[in-house]
Chain A
């Protein structure tokens, strides 16, 4: 039996916990995450409020739980946008002739000059800050890495005998892409999705911190951190809880990505 990969297990457990927390928050949180109660503002952690309350008297644990929904939602949509554009681009550039392929990859490289944060700030300046603009910006900024990784995998698949046989049999490029190339790069897509998810979590937190992400009152870990800044002297825990949540989520997706990569390509395991 194959030995369990520690990164994969640790990553899956962390991501699993976050997903469960997000799902549970739909039906139950200790308190209403947006309920303001000035009489208990900045309360310390207690049996009633495990993580204490913030400057508006809102329960921090409930906000962390609902914030995980925001994080996962932004991550899923951003990675979805990146995959929907990046995967076909990568496969296409592996299948077409040299010049069109070169053109696609040059355009792809150009996109690298527009990192997620910059794109999201541009989107925010033009359309106004919102979860939607943040998700789209993060997704578009993740397209180049998707396209590059999928292209390298697709190039290998294109050299295999079964693809050569399909081409010799007169199959058109489109069925070859869908029936032969795509199924063989799904492992790469999975790994890249996990890595991009970690990047999306970081970007969403940074954007919410700057005020370009999820607008209030919807709880978001990045904005919780931003709001905690004025209380670093008096209530540092307000920064600790969302900060730890962000770091654990990123760690989980990074570990999951590493673990999946090792699982799909055991030769790499020793390198990590």
Chain B
């Protein structure tokens, strides 16, 4: 168990280091000159040279990388080349907004997928199971931003129950916060729920074929209580893997959904950074998203062990 923890931590640290090099190299080496990009092609050479000096872009790339990484480790993401504002506080504020969205989306996905997937597996040869399978197949085909547009059309335009877009911080007006969160969270959660449902179904079907479940049934337990008491924890291991991958998908999917619902999250910050040609901001936001994805994968790895004691014996 401890060995596995050390090994996974090592993998995480190496992955973080390599991805930071990749992100930095991609943004710093390939495009040529971030100062020129920030100021535009018509800027004078003098203005470009001044901006390069001001932000230390005239130093060797290795020094710039070490400085950037050092700042990153201390939570200092540098100063925007374009707005000259500190990037760290902006990223932190926007990340909170995106996390609300992602967590709410994930809760909805789980609330949809676990019951629906279990019923689909338990009734996989019956009409109700097949109907749910068809619905989930259709759900998988709908991208989150399309689901968002459809939800706006129904619940905001036609019925007028919920606001079509906007964002209010929870501390400012909790009721409005919830109202504005529902549609974007549903857009993210329903689509991910449809994907997750298929994995839950497959995992539960596997468990249903196991001897211990047959034994539980032979003891007189009815199908659903048997599944609840003996099956779900076993079915959870493969589902958690997918859940981890999906959390990463949700994080990135939020970028598009934020655009649909005009939510000031990390995705909007990233897109604004691109349109303003603010390369350091883009580099920082990309790195924060990559760190989030790697951290989620790391936590999923640890969660396996918590869920499946067989993995604690040392074999991978």
Contact = CB atoms under 8 A, between A and B. Distances in A.
Interface stretch (A20-28, A73-81, A249-257): A249-257
Contacts of A112: 245, 248, 293, 297
A225 B157 CA distance: 17
A115 B274 CA distance: 17
B19 interface: yes
Interface size class of B (residues with CB under 8 A): 35 or more
Contacts, number: 124
Interface stretch (B89-97, B105-113, B143-151): B143-151
Given A229-B260, A233-B157, A271-B205, A115 B145 contact: no
Nearest to A107: B18
A125 B256 contact: no
Interface string B250-293: 00110110011000000000110110010100100010011001
Prevailing SS type, chain B contact patch: helix
B252 A118 contact: yes
B305 interface: no
A210 B140 contact: no
Contacts of B274: 121, 124-125, 212
A126 B143 contact: no
Contact of B143 (A113, A114, A124, A202): A202
A225 B158 CA distance: 19
Interface residues of A, number: 39
Nearest to B282: A125
A210 B164 contact: no
B255 A210 contact: yes
15 contacts: A106-B15, A110-B18, A112-B248, A124-B274, A125-B27, A125-B31, A125-B279, A125-B282, A198-B141, A232-B153, A239-B150, A243-B146, A246-B141, A247-B143, A248-B141
Q: Give me the 9 closest cross-chain CB pairs, A-B, nearest first.
A: A251-B141, A250-B141, A125-B274, A126-B31, A247-B141, A115-B252, A243-B146, A113-B293, A125-B282
